[in-house]
Chain A
Amino acid sequence: MTNFTRADRSVVGLWWWTVDRWTLATVGALMFMGAILVLAASPAVATRIGLDSFHMVRQHYVMLPVAFAVVVGVSMLSPKQVRRLGVLLFLLFLGLTSLTLVYGTEIKGATRWISVGPFSLQPSEFLKPTFAIFAAWMFSLKMSEQRVPGNLIAILAFALVVSVLLRQPDLGMTAVITATWFAQFFVAGLPFIWVILFAGLGVAGLVGSYFMFYHVRERVDQFLKGTGDSYQIDRALEAFQNGGLYGRGPGEGSVKMVLPDAHSDFIFAVAGEEFGLIVCLLLVACFAFIVLRALSRMVSEHNMFVLLGVTGLATGFGLQAVINMASSLHLMPTKGMTLPFISYGGSSIIAIALGVGMLLALTRKRFPGSLDT
């Protein structure tokens, strides 16, 4: 490990001394816990849907090293390279997401996936981090000397992204991307009158989706009034109670037998039942650590693009974790969303790795002139 001396100016050597190793270690810890939890939760689900019981475990274990490699590889980029990569991928995946509307595979009533041979890809997952980079760039242009209408481009791009996502429809992704974009705009210095206006529009959007989409109304009603089918959330809460402080032990849980999405949306409940409260609190702490550490570092960041990029990436990552955990704990209406690095998720784990890799790249220690390296 310590083969690199501080005088080592090679790419790897420089990376090792400048990257946020605490965050990197936390990401590694999350991936490790995810590996164990997918091992615990997915065989039951795989058996139930007629797959080989270790099918998902194998897929996940193939994805994990790739994801870690993506994190490390992307984190070696300079901010400028991050910007270029992000913008390029944003355009690519925006195109692919639009393609899902035409060629998509319909799963559970929505067309979000593109199948290429044996692989299926949900391009909108990649939109989340890459759009954050694109938006950060546009918002930061205002600060530069160049006379580019960055805000306007960001607003138009946002409108385009949202219109595509709502066509799928993917309300969860729309909400997260909207919140992320709004957080960036807010940090970029959006005047307060506009903040209130946009916040009002956001609330109107939420209320509107309640009335426009039956499944949204059903879930919100279930949460607020306790009406309708509460089977999944009841079992999830039961799982946390069964687990207690130390859990029932790996493999000893039963909630995975009954919850259809035990390996993804409700993996937190599996963690609660089999590994207990302490491990769950540790998971919360890991997510909180990554998000809060990244954001708090931005308080002294002078580079507007870096500041906004990190804000967007950390917000997107944190929101996804928060929505997943809060859903499992019945703190909000259930919204299907994977727990980053923990849930089985196929291509989504690569998308998350891309985002975290960019986050690490942007939070690396930089010194005057280092933007070009």
Chain B
Amino acid sequence: MTRRPAPDLVAQRPQPVINPMTLEMEPDGPRKRALEVSHSRVLLGASLFAVVFLVIAARLVAITVLPDGADSAAVAPVKTKTADRADIVDRNGVVLATSLTTASLYANPRQVQNPDEAAQLLNSVLPDLNIASTAAKLDTDRGFIWLKRDLTPRQQLAVNRLGLPGIYFQAESKRVYPQGNLTAHLVGFTDVDSRGLAGVERSFDDLLQSGDRPLQLSIDVRVQHILHEELNRAIVDFNGIGGAGIIIDLKSGEVLAMISLPDFDPARPGEAIEDARFDRATLGLYEMGSVFKIFNTAIALDSGTVTLADGFDATKPIRIGGHSINDYKGKHRFLTIPEIFTYSSNIGSAKMADLFGAEVQQAYLKRFGLMDKSPIELSEVGEPFYPSPKNWKRINTMTVSYGHGISINAMQLITAVGAVVNDGILREPTLLKRNLGELPEGTRVVSRQTSEQLRQLMRLVVQIGTGKKANAPGYLVGGKTGTADKQKGRGYAANTRLASFVAAFPMNDPRFAILAMVDEPKPNASSHGYATAGWVTAPVVGAVVQRIAPLYGLKPLPDDALEAQNPLVGMVADYDSPSAKKAQSALKQAVAPAPIPFGAAAAPTPLNVSAQPISIPEAPLEAE
């Protein structure tokens, strides 16, 4: 069959047929030129079409055959971050958190041929995959679905052996915490996609995700371990519901250890009860109790309101606003400032605060950082809670003097106490290691003299006061006890307490500050029915000091060394305990060339407490 027309028909073509109706005649003149234009333009159009069809054909070949012909990103089933999250290490390079590559199981349900069969087979090697729900997952139109994260190599092999189509593995990174519970609150944890959810993992999430270098913390895992062990022992011994402990390096502001108990396994945070995940060291807000007398006394001395030689009448409770301020085991007599501090007199402290007043009190508390949120680099930080200046009445000034009516977190407490004893210089606490060259200047919150006096007062507490069990022979521990009744509902509950001991050592030149807190301790047989800070948390500090001092090369001083002498010992009047006598006799034996700070035994004038009594306006206090 040929397409060529029959010869007889072809022969007709050249004949010039003039037929105006047909338009079929051979054109000439302008019409011919017009037709030529049309013909060339049709050709142009045809060429354009040819190019377009060629482009389509080329694109088809490119997508189908060439590797990555299509935009590979556009067809990738899912993009999972595979780059490893940076490690977290302690100040000595010990790994606290690292990432391991593991395999996770996923499916492309569109490629799964028999969902029910596949689900049953998967269940036979991974028993915790529910058959029904897995089958339902596999029976969808989706292209990607997680089945199980983090398989062991053995499980991976077993799944591979099933030979199921549409079932794949994705290499993933899994977060591992070699120190387990020890750093749970501090380091925190991540979700399955390695995004930080708590602790340092959360607050430094961006850095950890992008960083290739390990994040070095200020934490010393050895110190962390010691504090954890000793604090836990106290909680167990006194049947407490929890506790917190912090140790900071006063020279740099670095946090060496930070504990909150009970703790949890950061590998399985979901299984922990909520109370265990609660960070008592930074998130918990507490009325700290008598440890606030450190601040109160420092304010009184630094503002020039009193001198160490002054004193107050503490024979009778203060009655104000229907409340009564009384002393625990009160002396019911006139007390000197060192006595008020050492015996932890609420009456004396309240009268001291009443003398300098609310404005001075608030100004100092703000300087100490107790009115603002702690700058520690965590998201789990509780903001302090206190009355607004308008509602800060006289009774508030008095109760705040002994640590009630203001709630702060443990990190704020130790930071401020550290500033008071560290020559009055406050350094912001940090969880990151600070190199020697980049130590912050710090800000002065009290004078050097006030700091020196507070160190002697705190040393006195451990020498002859409520904190004797914190003593670590030769390390000149000084501190202050705080046994605060916990608020339950609208009032205070008599038998739920917060026992805390805040300390620093060595007091002649403090290097470390330590805080130990036990939440709701109960008396036990060995404590003779007491559950006070002196019995519960002071021993924790004593034990910790003796264990960490050697780690940092601190050597104990002999009892009769000049630096070990506390000139205030003689200022505590009718103290007749053996330890007081021992301290007093050591003081007498020490040769003391003046002037030296600690051990400046000869420097203070002989005690004459009744010489300069401060007259307190008694009437308004009693009027209530």
Contacts and interface: CB of A to CB of B under 8 A. Distances in A.
Contact of A367 (B12, B38, B39, B45): B12
Contact of A368 (B12, B41, B74): B12
B1 A368 contact: no
A304 B19 contact: no
Interface string B1-24: 101011001001101010111111
A276 B61 CA distance: 10
Q: Is the interface of A mostly helix, strand, loop or mixed?
A: helix
Nearest to B3: A21
A245 B12 contact: no
B434 interface: no
B63 interface: yes
A372 B70 CA distance: 53
Interface stretch (B47-55, B351-359, B391-399): B47-55
Given A234-B74, A302-B35, A291 B49 contact: yes
Contacts of B13: 367-368
B42 interface: yes
A257 B142 CA distance: 10
B206 to A, nearest CB: 24
A144 interface: yes
Nearest to B50: A292
A6 B34 contact: no
- Interface of chain B, helix or strand or loop or mixed? helix
Contacts of A322: 49, 52-53, 56
Given A144-B23, A254-B110, A233 B74 contact: yes
A88 interface: no
Contacts of B117: none
A331 B55 CA distance: 9
A303 B35 CA distance: 9
Nearest to A308: B38
Given A143-B23, A145-B20, A245-B65, A284 B57 contact: yes
Contacts of B143: 235, 258
A15 interface: no
A300 B6 CA distance: 20
Interface stretch (A67-75, A101-109, A185-193): A185-193
B583 to A, nearest CB: 77
Contact of A240 (B3, B24, B35, B64): B64
A373 to B, nearest CB: 11
For chain B, give the interface size range: 35 or more
Contacts of B22: 368-369, 371-372
B74 A237 contact: yes
A342 interface: no
B63 A329 contact: yes
A340 to B, nearest CB: 14
A368 B17 contact: yes
Contacts of B193: none
A278 to B, nearest CB: 10
Contacts of A299: 39, 42-43, 46
B63 A300 contact: no
A369 B61 contact: no
Given A145-B20, A234-B74, A302-B24, A241 B38 contact: no
B38 to A, nearest CB: 5
Interface string A274-313: 0011001100110110011001101111111101100100
Contacts of B209: none
A295 B46 CA distance: 6
Contacts of A183: 45
Contacts of B5: 17, 365
A307 B38 contact: yes
B591 to A, nearest CB: 83
Contacts of A311: 42, 45
Given A241-B64, A292-B46, A329-B56, A371 B24 contact: yes
B437 to A, nearest CB: 47
B41 A187 contact: yes
B177 to A, nearest CB: 38
B141 interface: yes
A243 B57 CA distance: 15
Contacts of A292: 46, 49-50, 53
Interface string B540-569: 000000000000000000000000000000
Contact of A2 (B1, B43, B49, B63): B1
B75 A234 contact: yes
B24 A368 contact: yes
A364 B59 CA distance: 34
A328 B15 CA distance: 51
B24 A254 contact: no
Contact of B56 (A238, A315, A326): A326
A296 B49 CA distance: 11
A284 B53 contact: yes
B63 A187 contact: no
A295 B48 CA distance: 11
B53 A287 contact: yes
A230 interface: yes
A325 B22 CA distance: 40
Contact of B60 (A143, A240, A295, A303): A240
B56 A186 contact: no
Contacts of B25: 368
B430 to A, nearest CB: 41
B192 interface: no
B273 interface: no
A84 interface: no
Interface string A132-151: 00000000000111000000
A237 B69 CA distance: 10
A355 interface: no
A307 B34 CA distance: 12
Which of A272, A303, A365, A368 has the most C-beta atoms of chain B within 10 angstroms of its own C-beta? A368
A21 B1 CA distance: 11
Given A272-B64, A284-B60, A302-B26, A369 B42 contact: no
B37 interface: yes
A329 B74 CA distance: 12
B111 interface: yes
A308 B37 CA distance: 13
A302 B45 contact: no
Interface in A228-250: 230, 233-235, 237-238, 240-241, 243-245
Contact of A295 (B6, B49, B57): B49
A299 B74 CA distance: 43
Contact of B59 (A245, A308, A331): A331
A230 B74 contact: yes
B110 A258 contact: yes
Interface string B89-113: 0000000000000000000001100
A331 B64 CA distance: 14
A167 interface: no
B53 A295 contact: no
A309 B358 CA distance: 98
Closest 6 A/B residue pairs (Cβ): A295-B46, A288-B53, A277-B64, A237-B70, A254-B110, A240-B63
19 contacts: A183-B45, A187-B42, A240-B64, A245-B64, A245-B65, A277-B60, A277-B61, A281-B57, A311-B45, A329-B63, A330-B71, A365-B5, A367-B12, A368-B19, A369-B22, A370-B24, A371-B22, A371-B23, A372-B21
Interface of A: 2, 6, 17, 21, 143-145, 183, 186-189, 226, 230, 233-235, 237-238, 240-241, 243-245, 254, 257-258, 272, 276-277, 280-281, 284-285, 287-288, 291-292, 295-296, 298-305, 307-308, 311, 315, 318, 322, 325-326, 329-331, 365-372
Interface of B: 1, 3, 5-6, 9, 12-13, 15, 17, 19-27, 31, 34-35, 37-39, 41-43, 45-46, 49-50, 52-53, 55-57, 59-61, 63-65, 69-71, 74-75, 110-111, 141, 143
Given A143-B34, A284-B53, A299-B43, 14 more contacts: A21-B3, A237-B74, A258-B110, A258-B143, A272-B60, A295-B46, A298-B42, A299-B46, A307-B39, A311-B45, A329-B56, A329-B59, A330-B70, A367-B12
